[in-house]
A and B are shown apart, each in its own frame.
Chain A
């Protein structure tokens, strides 16, 4: 896994734990958590950009379409969780944040497995 992957996993793990505590305490997602989700989103965007630069500079990525699919879906997830945080003002917005961060961590692991460099 790359530095960006590790940073993404660490940030996602942190936000997952934070949101998990909120879910247990019956609290909805707060603005600070949305900023944290923004950090995860930024890291995912950097990861996608690095991938695009690598491909354009001649690095051969096996199954490029699948990789692009993973990177794009991962990018959509924090946005979806943030949107849900606005419409669902109960503990379930925190549960959704936990699930989304867990999915991002699994996707990072899968991406590292399939495309070690990215």
Chain B
């Protein structure tokens, strides 16, 4: 009985862990975006940061948030609130910077990862936080089951 319930428990845990199964695919995509945004932002800031400090600074900040989201999604558990926070910041960031880059292009002489709603990255920065939120919601622990356990 205990062996069977152990297996069932493991399957249930796997389903609910944000960093396993489909969650690992999300973690990889977040990791790639984190690498791309951070590397690009750092290179731009170091080589010609004075040309568009706001844009390049935003790219580095976005990269840092993607790194936090990657780690939080992969680890889950006590990191889950941090995952929710970072994914929400990403969505707000891409929407605010997306609108600002279209309305006041003078503020963004060079593009950032969030400009034009992430157009330069195939709109992945716009779609990814929504997918991240959906996944965090789908893998949440239901309170009734927590009480039962």
A: residues with CB less than 8 A from B are 63, 65-66, 69, 72-73, 76-77, 80-81, 84, 87-88, 90, 92-93, 95-96, 99-100, 103
Q: How many residues in B have their beta carbons less than 8 Å from beta carbons of A? A: 16
- The answer to whether B25 touches A95, judged by C-beta atoms less than 8 angstroms apart, is yes
Interface centre among A72, A92, A95 (most CB of B within 10 A): A92
Chain B residues with CB below 8 A from A87, complex form: 24
Interface of B is mostly: helix
Q: List 10 additional A-B contacts (Cβ < 8 Å) besides A73-B36, A92-B22.
A: A65-B47, A66-B40, A69-B39, A77-B32, A80-B28, A81-B28, A88-B24, A92-B24, A96-B24, A100-B32
B: residues with CB less than 8 A from A are 20-22, 24-25, 28-29, 31-32, 35-36, 39-40, 43, 46-47
Contact A99 B28, CB 8 Å, known A76-B35, A92-B21, A92-B22: yes
- The answer to whether A69 touches B25, judged by C-beta atoms less than 8 angstroms apart, is no
Chain A residues with CB below 8 A from B32, complex form: 77, 99-100, 103
Chain B residues with CB below 8 A from A100, complex form: 28, 32
- The answer to whether A69 touches B29, judged by C-beta atoms less than 8 angstroms apart, is no
Partner of B40 from A69, A84, A103 at Cβ < 8 Å: A69
Taken together as a complex, chains A and B put the C-alpha atoms of A99 and B124 apart, in Å, by: 13
Q: Which residue of A lies closest to B35 (CB)?
A: A73
Chain A residues with CB below 8 A from B40, complex form: 66, 69
Taken together as a complex, chains A and B put the C-alpha atoms of A66 and B42 apart, in Å, by: 10
Partner of A69 from B20, B31, B43 at Cβ < 8 Å: B43
